[in-house]
C-alpha cells in the first residue's frame, strides 16, 4: 500500500468551522509532501462545483487538488488555474441515471414537497429546476428527515440520498462519494489498495466502507458512525480534528506503507 490517490471530504474534514492557521499549516505540509511523491489529490464533496471552488479559494492550501468530485456525484479535472472540465463519461452517465430516476420517482418528489410544506425548519433545494435535496435548521431535524424520506420513497428502492448534518441530496442509490471515487480510480488506473479516503460524516460512509479505498481515516470530530466504520475497516481515527486530523492521517499511512 502506497498513497497514490487521496480523497478528502471538504467541510468538517479539510476545514472545520473555526479553522486556524496551525491546522492549515500542518495540512499544507502533508499535501505538499504527497504531491512531491507523485500522489493525486481529489476533494470529494457534497458541494456543487462553483461552491467547492469558492471554498477552496477561502482556505490557504499550497495548491489546488488535481480533481474535485462534486455534488457527491460529478468528477472534474483541473485543466489550469480556475478551469475545470468533466473527466470521462461519468458525469453524463450519472446525470442520465438521475433524470431517469426522478422521472420514475415523480410521485416521491411530489410527496416530499408536500411533506416539507407542512413542517417548519426545512428548506427544499432545487438545481436546474429539479428538486435536488433539502436543508434542515438543525441536525435533529435531519435525523428525523432520514426516516421520513425513506418511508416516502419506500416503493422506489433506487431512490436514495446522501446526507450530512443539515444537508440531504437525493440520489440514485448507486451514486455517492464511493462510486465516484471508484470511477476516478478506475480512470486513473490506481487500484483501491493505493487509495486513501478521509471524511467526517454520513455522506462519507460510501467512500469509507472499504469498497473504493483500502486506506480509510477520519478526524477526531467525525460522527460516531464514521469513527466505528473506520475502525472496523482497520483504518485510522486521528486524535486531531479537521485539517490537522487529515495531515495526521496522511502521515500515518505514509509511515506504514
> CB 167 → Mg ion: shortest distance, Å?
9
* DSSP assignment string, 71-131: TTTEEEEEEETTEEEE-SSHHHHHHHHHHHHHHHTHHHHHHHHHHHHTSSSEEEEEETTEE
Instruction: Indicate whether 74 belongs to the interface with Mg ion (CB under 5 A).
Output: no
Instruction: Indicate whether 183 belongs to the interface with Mg ion (CB under 5 A).
Output: no
Instruction: Indicate whether 9 belongs to the interface with Mg ion (CB under 5 A).
Output: yes
Instruction: Identify which range of 4-12, 59-67, 155-163, 176-184 contacts Mg ion by CB under 5 A.
Output: 4-12
Instruction: Identify which range of 1-9, 135-143, 146-154, 170-178 contacts Mg ion by CB under 5 A.
Output: 1-9
- Nearer to Mg ion by Cβ, of 100 and 225: the residue is 225
Instruction: Indicate whether 11 belongs to the interface with Mg ion (CB under 5 A).
Output: yes
Q: Report residue 252 as a C-alpha cell.
A: 500515518
Task: Please identify which residue in 12, 133, 210, 245 interacts with Mg ion, judged by CB under 5 A.
Answer: 12
- Nearer to Mg ion by Cβ, of 47 and 172: the residue is 47
Residue with cell 440520498: 161
> CB 89 → Mg ion: shortest distance, Å?
27
> CB 201 → Mg ion: shortest distance, Å?
4
Task: Please identify which residue in 47, 172, 176, 201 interacts with Mg ion, judged by CB under 5 A.
Answer: 201
Instruction: Indicate whether 200 belongs to the interface with Mg ion (CB under 5 A).
Output: yes
The residues of the shown chain that bind Mg ion, judged by CB under 5 A, are 9, 11-12, 200-201
Amino acid at each position: 500500500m502506497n498513497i497514490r490517490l487521496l480523497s478528502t471530504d471538504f467541510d468538517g474534514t479539510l476545514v472545520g468551522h473555526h479553522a486556524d492557521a496551525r491546522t492549515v499549516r500542518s495540512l499544507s505540509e502533508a499535501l505538499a509532501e504527497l504531491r512531491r511523491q507523485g500522489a493525486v489529490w481529489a476533494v470529494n464533496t457534497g458541494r456543487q462545483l462553483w461552491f467547492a471552488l469558492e471554498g477552496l479559494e477561502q482556505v490557504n492550501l499550497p495548491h489546488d487538488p488535481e480533481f474535485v468530485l462534486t455534488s457527491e456525484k460529478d468528477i472534474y479535472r483541473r485543466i489550469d488555474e480556475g478551469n475545470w472540465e468533466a473527466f470521462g463519461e461519468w458525469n453524463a452517465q450519472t446525470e442520465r441515471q438521475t433524470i431517469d430516476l426522478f422521472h420514475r420517482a415523480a410521485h416521491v418528489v411530489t410527496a416530499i414537497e408536500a411533506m416539507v410544506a407542512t413542517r417548519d425548519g426545512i428548506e427544499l433545494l432545487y438545481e436546474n429546476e429539479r428538486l435536488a435535496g433539502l436543508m434542515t435548521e438543525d441536525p435533529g431535524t435531519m435525523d428525523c428527515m432520514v426516516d421520513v424520506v425513506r418511508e416516502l420513497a419506500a416503493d422506489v428502492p433506487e431512490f436514495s440520498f446522501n446526507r450530512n448534518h443539515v444537508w440531504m441530496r437525493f440520489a440514485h442509490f448507486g451514486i455517492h462519494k464511493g462510486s465516484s471515487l471508484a470511477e476516478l480510480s478506475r480512470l486513473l488506473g490506481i487500484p483501491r489498495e493505493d487509495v486513501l479516503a478521509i471524511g467526517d460524516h454520513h455522506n462519507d460512509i460510501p467512500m469509507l466502507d472499504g469498497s473504493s479505498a483500502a486506506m480509510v481515516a477520519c478526524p477526531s470530530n467525525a460522527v460516531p458512525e464514521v469513527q466505528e466504520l473506520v475502525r472496523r475497516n482497520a483504518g485510522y481515527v486521528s486524535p486531531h480534528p479537521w485539517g490537522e486530523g487529515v495531515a495526521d492521517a496522511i502521515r500515518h499511512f505514509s509511515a506504514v506503507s
